[in-house]
């Protein structure tokens, strides 16, 4: 299992931006498809975005399309989530996930990632 540590969360006004980072341990980061999820109070964890091993393919939930951008730096063992035009409804704990068995099926089986981080809080004030 890979260890994941998220950072970059915080309090931002609506319309603002945040960049989340997720640092992974180990030397096999480039072998893992990576993803971002979020969970708001009283709601289920939901898929936000994912990226393939090389970064050549990216996937977004409808709520994230056009506003969020996922990227990865395999040399730094880090995946990022750039979030722009933030809305109050983006408020949630954001989780990084690693090692999905079939990233092409992410929309069918989004929660199949094998490793999860502890999460970072994002709060958007309106």
Determine contact, residues 81/36, Cβ cutoff 8 Å.
yes
Q: How far is CA 21 from the centre of its chain?
A: 8
H/E stretch holding 23 reads strand 18-24
* pLDDT digit string, tens, across residues 42-97: 999 999 999 999 999 999 999 999 999 999 999 999 999 999 999 999 999 999 99
What pLDDT is attached to residue 106?
A: 92
Each residue's pLDDT tens digit, 25-43: 977 899 999 999 999 999 9
Q: What is the mean pLDDT of residues 12-18?
A: 98
DSSP class per residue in 70-81? EEEETTTTEEEE
Q: Quote the radius of gyration of the chain (alpha carbons, Å).
A: 13
Confidence (pLDDT) at 68: 98
| Mean pLDDT, rounded, for 19-27 | 93
Place of tokens 């931002």: 12
* Spatial separation of the C-alpha atoms in residues 87 and 28, rounded to whole Å: 35
Please tell me whether residue 89 adopts helix, strand or coil conformation: helix
The three-state secondary structure class of 40 is: coil
Q: What value does the mean pLDDT of the chain take?
A: 96
CB-based burial label for 41 (10 Å; 0-12, 13-18, 19+): exposed
């Amino acid at each position: 299992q890979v260890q994941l540590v998220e950072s970059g969360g915080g309090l931002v006004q609506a319309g603002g931006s945040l960049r989340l980072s997720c640092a992974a341990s180990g030397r096999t980061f480039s072998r893992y498809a990576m993803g971002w999820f979020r969970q708001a109070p009283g709601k289920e964890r939901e898929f936000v975005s994912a990226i393939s091993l090389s970064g050549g393919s990216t996937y977004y939930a409808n709520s994230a399309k056009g506003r969020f951008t996922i990227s990865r730096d395999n040399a730094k063992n880090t995946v990022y989530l750039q979030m722009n035009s933030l809305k109050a409804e983006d408020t949630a704990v954001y989780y990084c996930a690693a090692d999905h068995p079939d990233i092409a099926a992410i929309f069918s089986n989004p929660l199949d990632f094998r490793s999860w981080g502890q999460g970072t809080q994002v709060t958007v004030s309106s």
